[in-house]
Structures are given as C-alpha cells and as structure tokens.
Amino acid sequence: MRGTTANILIRGTACMAAAFALPAWAANGVVGPGNCNQAGFDSVLAAVDGSGGGTITFNCGTATIVFTNRKAIAHAVVIDGGGSITLDGGGTSALFQIYASANVTLRRLTLQHGVFNGGHMLENFGSLRLREVTVRNNISGAAPLLNQNSLVVEASTFADNTNNGAGSSGHGGAILNDGGPATIRFSTFSNNTATTGGGAIYSTSTLNVSNSTFSGNRATASSSGGGAIYVDSSDAGSLVHVTIADNSGGTFGGGFYSANGALFVSRSIIANNANGNCDGMLTSGGYNVWAGSTSCALSATGDGAGNPMLGALANNGGPTWTRMPGNTSAAINRIPNAQCVLSVDQRGGGRPAGNGCDSGAVEAGAALDLIFYDGFE
C-alpha cells in the first residue's frame, strides 16, 4: 500500500488542473498597465472573487506590489504572476487569508516580507495550491504559511524564512500543517528557521513529501527537534525520494522527527544533519542512504550508510534548486529497476537514468523533460 500511495502522489499531478477547475461563470481580470499597485490589485481581486471566481494575471512587466493589509479570498481564484510579480508585505502586513469556501491557486509568484501581528503571512482554511511560487524572507512570530485544510505545494521554493515565536507559535519555519492533508512535491526548502521544532515544516496531520530537497534548515531551541521536518500526527504520512541534508535540530532529529504514527521513509538521502539524522517512530520502504555520526532506525532492503557525495544547492535544471550526487555516490543506482516507484525526479528528469534508480530527489544523468517542468503535464 505504501508504494501505491507514492505512485498516486506523482501520477496525480497531471490531473491537478481538473481538481482546481474554475466555475463556468468565472470572470477573469488583469492588473495593469497603469494600476500595478495595491489599489489596482485590490480592485481586480474584488471583481474576480466577487463574481464567484476566475483568473488574475498581470500586465506590469517585472514589478513588486506592496501590501499594507491582508487580502481575503472566498471563491475559486487563480493568481498567476507569470514569473515576474512579487507580492511584498513590507515587513508589516500579511498577504492572504483563504476562506474555507475558497479554492485558490497561487502560481509563478514571489511572496515575501509578510507578517500579521507576529503571525502567519498566508493562512489557508480552504483548498490552496502553490505552483512555481517562491516564499522567502518572511520573519515573524509564527510559521509563514498556516494550513488548516487542504494544501498542495509543487515546484516551489521556501527559503530564508524565520519563525522566532515561542512555544507552539515557534513551530514551522516555512509551513505549519495543522489540519492537512498537505502534499509537497518537486520543491526545495532551504535556510528556514523555527524556534521550537520543524525548521522547514511542522505537521500535526497527514504530510506526504516526494521529490523534494531540504537543505540548511534549523530548529534552534535547545530542546527542539526536527531540523527540517517535525511530524506529530497519528497518520504521519510519507517521505519518498527526498533529500534531507545539512539541517540541524536543537537536541534530536536534526533531519526529521516523527513523534506519533510511523512516518514512512523510502528511497531517500538523509545526510550530515546535526544532532541526529532522524529520530522517532519510522517505517522504512527501503533503499534509504544516510551519512553522518548518527544513523536512522531504518533496516529494510537497500537501507544503509554510505556517502551520497552531495554537491551544494544549485541550479541543476528544472524549476527548483537541488543537490546533485557525485559520480561515485552511494545513492546512484541504489534501487533496482523493478523497485523504481516514481518515473521522474525533482527536476523532471526521467527515472531510471542508469542501471537502477537513484535514492534522493535527483536522478543523476537524467535527461530533463522541458514540457514536464514547464507545464507539469
């Protein structure tokens, strides 16, 4: 069943457009030219959301729009920045609150400098999808993104976000998944910081992560854990073809920690995370490789220590940055062809590219599919 779930997570990508389809009466709107500012955006959002939903695009060239107040969305709305629009909270304002009635896609945008009374930059109580979105430099007393319903993150980057809250407010340097389910794929989390756990993600509900990279994230309090991921859920979820390297926990689980339920870990790289690579209640799907002073409690077929020889986080092709294994990496061809469960890697490269599939998020030597990472079709 675990392998079947992993396949569904990836193969369902091509069907996401239907899942986020807009109603037939949807009204579309364009921000700009001439109104590429908060007032212009507010006017278009009010018209589109007020009509029952639609798509918002921009005719602004490369532009940053600064928000001074949080925007609420109640219906089926797509906001597409075309890769050239930044929405900025100016260090004083949150960006969006997604109502329970809403079905929202944020696409090809940068979201930065958001804060709401020391709280969340982006709150989701409905259905939210981030596609090719960069979330960066949000500093607050809570996780930048709060999910309390349904969340999909794909081909997106969370970088340099800081949650400096205390107690439970300090959970999640990038995402607090507190109601899930949350699905993360083809994405990178780097240099995010949380005080009390989950330097990148803290999850109290189902979290499924595949084809993603976690590098340099931190949980800083002396009693904290889960430098990259902290899972505290009876239905923990899964990590499949994930690279988790050079993260740090305050005391334990420098890579990831599972407090309740058996987190399923398969075909992943867990390397050189400070204060333990991983800890807690885990179930292995096999073919995991780890490096560092503390091993993980994983002992299925193909699990074991070895040097993944990871390069620095870099642009190795595809929509997000990754860490490429070296030519003699213990991760390369670790998985027999018959056990390859995902047909592409984080970049859109085909698996297998050699005499087997590679553990981790990247398939070394894979030919990249431009159509795949342009349109995820």
* Digit-coded pLDDT (tens) for 253-297: 999 999 988 999 999 999 999 998 999 999 999 999 999 866 788
pLDDT at residue number 19: 43
pLDDT at residue number 33: 95
**Distance from C-alpha of 288 to C-alpha of 226, rounded to nearest angstrom:** 18
- Compute φ and ψ for 3, nearest 5 degrees: -60, -40
**Distance from C-alpha of 229 to C-alpha of 217, rounded to nearest angstrom:** 9
Q: Given a cut of 50, is residue 233 above it in pLDDT?
A: yes
Q: How many CB atoms lie within 10 A of CB 368?
A: 17
DSSP string, 282-345: EEEEE--EEESSS--S--STT-EE----B--SB--SSSS-B-PBPTT-TTTT-B-GGG---SB-
Buried b (16+ CB within 10 A) or exposed e, 221-240: beebbbbbbbbbbeebbbbb
Structural domain boundaries, residue 204: 2-375
Look up residue 234 and give its two tokens.
């009876």
Look up residue 184 and give its two tokens.
């993360």
* Digit-coded pLDDT (tens) for 48-58: 999 999 999 99
- Among 74-78, 234-238, 268-272, 349-353, name the one with the lowest average pLDDT: 234-238
Query: Residue 132 maps to which CATH number?
Result: 2.160.20
Q: Given a cut of 90, is residue 202 above it in pLDDT?
A: yes
pLDDT band at 7; cut points 50, 70, 90: very low
**Distance from C-alpha of 175 to C-alpha of 142, rounded to nearest angstrom:** 9
Look up residue 25 and give its two tokens.
């009466």
DSSP string, 170-192: GB-SSEEESS--EEEES-EEES-
* Digit-coded pLDDT (tens) for 126-179: 999 999 999 999 998 999 999 999 999 999 999 999 999 888 898 999 999 999
Look up residue 191 and give its two tokens.
């240099």
* 37 class by beta-carbon count within 10 Å (0-12 exposed, 13-18 middle, 19+ buried): middle
Look up residue 310 and give its two tokens.
């990871």
**Distance from C-alpha of 95 to C-alpha of 121, rounded to nearest angstrom:** 6
* 288 class by beta-carbon count within 10 Å (0-12 exposed, 13-18 middle, 19+ buried): buried
CB of 103 within 8 A of CB of 126? yes
- Region 198-221 average pLDDT: 96
Q: What is the DSSP letter of 241?
A: E
Q: Say how many domains are in the chain.
A: 1
pLDDT at residue number 176: 97
pLDDT band at 86; cut points 50, 70, 90: very high
pLDDT band at 13; cut points 50, 70, 90: very low
- Region 235-248 average pLDDT: 96
- Region 72-90 average pLDDT: 98
pLDDT band at 70; cut points 50, 70, 90: very high
Q: Given a cut of 50, is residue 370 above it in pLDDT?
A: yes
Q: Given a cut of 70, is residue 371 above it in pLDDT?
A: no
Q: Are strands 269-271 and 237-245 parallel, antiparallel or unpaired?
A: parallel
Q: Given a cut of 60, is residue 34 above it in pLDDT?
A: yes
Q: Supply the mean pLDDT for the chain.
A: 90
- Among 2-6, 116-120, 157-161, name the one with the lowest average pLDDT: 2-6
DSSP string, 26-94: ---EEE-SS--SHHHHHHHHHHHHHTTEEEEEE-SSSEEEE-SSPEEE-SEEEEEEEEEEEEE-TTT--
pLDDT at residue number 170: 86
Give the chain's end-to-end CA distance (angstroms, integer). Answer: 25
**Distance from C-alpha of 162 to C-alpha of 46, rounded to nearest angstrom:** 31
pLDDT band at 15; cut points 50, 70, 90: very low
Q: How many CB atoms lie within 10 A of CB 262?
A: 14
CB of 78 within 8 A of CB of 45? no
Q: What is the DSSP letter of 292?
A: S
- Compute φ and ψ for 31, nearest 5 degrees: -90, 120
pLDDT at residue number 26: 63
pLDDT at residue number 261: 86
H or E segment at 354? none
pLDDT at residue number 80: 98
pLDDT band at 10; cut points 50, 70, 90: very low
Q: Are strands 162-163 and 139-140 parallel, antiparallel or unpaired?
A: parallel
- Compute φ and ψ for 371, nearest 5 degrees: -65, -40
pLDDT at residue number 223: 83
Q: Is the pTM of this model over 0.85?
A: yes
Look up residue 270 and give its two tokens.
């867990």
**Distance from C-alpha of 47 to C-alpha of 15, rounded to nearest angstrom:** 28
pLDDT at residue number 180: 84
Q: Given a cut of 60, is residue 25 above it in pLDDT?
A: no
Count of all residues that appear for the chain in the document: 377
Q: Given a cut of 80, is residue 31 above it in pLDDT?
A: yes
Write down the residue that tokens 């490429």 correspond to.
Answer: 324
